[in-house]
Structure 1
Amino acid sequence: MPLSSIEIIYIDSQILVVNKPTLLLSVPGRAEDNKDCLITRLQENGYPDALIVHRLDWETTGLMILARNPEAHRELSRQFQDREVKKGYTALCWGEPSANKGQIELPMRYDPPNKPRQIIDHIQGKYALTYWEKLECHPTYSRIKLMPYTGRSHQLRVHMQAIGHPLLGDPLYAHRLAFTAAPRLCLHASELSITHPTNKRRLNFKCPATF
């Protein structure tokens, strides 16, 4: 499969940073028709040593970092696990949050009857924390920056829905007006900061959203 629209942001002997397009899985799905994904395209088109470190949702675009050898993979995975990686997302949400910035601290868990949805659950949910900042306001929506402290599946989407500001174009969590307000999910991983696995320099990558 062709490399297609996967933009290479940075590359060296240890890491590969790319801009994932929308409607592309990070890793292969279980179904036979879900084999096309970012890691497969990279491995088949010049980067056979690429190793997945973290994931973005199918609809979400933006920065992903991949390791190029097992040692770099272990170190980057440790940084994610120890929350040393700083992530920033750009999003469009329905309405306007009342404050200029804040945090959402709501526990989450998988909702098996409604796969692949996640829900807020104060009893069985796992700890989840998101910081947010309002960037621009428009008549029906706002541009915001989202900074997850934890990395739960669908965390940003569920947290914004929980406070009454679902993300535009979200097929799982947005109400009808918010869903139809954009042709795709308006969530983009625009900032990523890691420590290089070998030279230990702090690297800060940026990739502006196109919405």
Structure 2
Amino acid sequence: MRSPLPPREGISATRLRAPGGKQTSAKAHLPVPETVEAWLAQEFPDHSPQDRAWLTEHPNGGCLTDGTGRPAGPDDPVMPGGFYFFHRPVPHEDPVPFDLTVLYEDRDIVVVDKPHFLASTPNGRFVRQSAVTRLRIELNEPDLVAVHRLDRVTAGLLLFSRRPETRGAYQVLFQNRRVHKTYRALAWLPDDFDPHTLPAVRRTRLHKTKGDRQVVEIPGAPNTETRLRFEGIRGRAARRLPPDSAPVVGPEASLPNHEAELTSIGEFALEPVTGKTHQLRVHLNGLGVPMVGDPVYPADCAPDPYDFSDPLQLVADGLRFTDPLSGKAREFQSNFPLSVPAGLAR
């Protein structure tokens, strides 16, 4: 169900679903509280009645409404299985000092170059400082939605849908893997790196434990696939990986061990066939060539999200697809360069 509340300062309203209702609802088996206040007490058990009051009483706070946009008071009966909407208070966020660049736009889509360190969509501590929120405000288009996502630390191409009426057609392209995506990356190379031993495809099983930042490769049937190609040496350096930084891998890594000294920086062209979280970063790390500027692989350095000094050298470089509405071939290229750390370039 679409929210009856328009985005506020580019931020969409939050949706809640009440207990009861049709069997298709995950909460259909739960008893329906008599009043909205009783339901909110169940929904937010860690909040006091005073803390919850802003949802139903504060005119500048959440202002809970039902699916028609009618305000819901604390003593109102709960609509079984009904949808309710409200705007969460959003705390101050320090700005991410990099701009979005619009590369292409038509009636239905906008394609932008997203900078490093800017979240694609509102998530956790980054709500205002996200590409979706910023672009909605800059273009004055509250209906803009990102059709896919990039990691916050990854730069490059991001496609937005302008109109709800045509959004599904573009979402299906990504869901059905009918978009050809290419990435470029810089990675640290061990001293005995041999590009001839680099596999053309890496298929492994990725797993992420809830609460962990790292994704790991584990034994089992592959659920990810990346095509990769070495493009050449781009710099010389000297760095040794921590001895405890070797990732958990399924198949044997085809490159030297993870405690080897890293003496060069190389460029890689990457094509993700699947799109799991951190997939490209984990796959290169699993081959013994971790990306330059990666704060999580091979060792999680607990990065400061506001340290912008060392961006991950990964760029979503290309998007290519057949437009589902016009049938025209679409191809977009990022303008973001890869940057070898100062003093290391050849």
Shorter chain as denominator, the TM-score bin is 0.7 to 0.9
Contact 1:29 1:35 in 2 (8 A): no
- Amino acid across the alignment from 1:173: Y
Mapped to 2, the partners of 1:97 and 1:166 lie a distance apart of 15
Partner residue in 1 for 2:171: 77
Partner residue in 1 for 2:208: 110
Q: Which has the larger radius of gyration?
A: 2
**Displacement after TM superposition at 1:135 (Å):** 1.1
**Displacement after TM superposition at 1:195 (Å):** 2.0
Mapped to 1, the partners of 2:270 and 2:297 lie a distance apart of 17
Instruction: Select the residue among 139, 158, 164 that pairs with 1:64.
Output: 158
Size of the aligned set, in residue pairs, is 204
Q: How does 1:21-32 map to 2 (within 5 A)?
A: 21-31=115-125
Partner residue in 2 for 1:199: 326
Contact 1:194 1:202 in 2 (8 A): yes
Task: Return the structure number with greater relative CO, CA threshold 8 A, min gap 6.
Answer: 1
Mapped to 1, the partners of 2:166 and 2:208 lie a distance apart of 30
Where in structure 1 are there 5+ consecutive unaligned residues? none
Mapped to 1, the partners of 2:123 and 2:112 lie a distance apart of 20
**Displacement after TM superposition at 1:126 (Å):** 6.1
Task: State TM-score, norm by structure 2.
Answer: 0.55
- Amino acid across the alignment from 2:202: I
Task: State TM-score, norm by structure 1.
Answer: 0.88
Contact 1:87 1:148 in 2 (8 A): yes
Alignment of 1:40 with 2:136, yes or no, is no
Task: Give 4+ residue runs of structure 1 displaced > 3 Å after superposition.
Answer: 1-4
- Amino acid across the alignment from 2:129: D
Change (3 A) 1:113 1:207: closer
Contact 2:122 2:128 in 1 (8 A): yes
Mapped to 2, the partners of 1:41 and 1:7 lie a distance apart of 11
Q: Which has the higher strand share?
A: 1
Change (3 A) 1:102 1:159: same
Where in structure 2 are there 5+ consecutive unaligned residues? 1-8, 10-94, 237-263, 304-308, 339-346
- Amino acid across the alignment from 1:129: E
**Residues 24-81 of structure 1: CA deviation (Å, up to 9, x unaligned):** 00111133x5432000001111151311111001110000111111233211111111
Partner residue in 2 for 1:94: 188
Partner residue in 2 for 1:171: 295
SS in 1 for 2:195: coil
Change (3 A) 1:21 1:97: farther
Alignment of 1:120 with 2:244, yes or no, is no
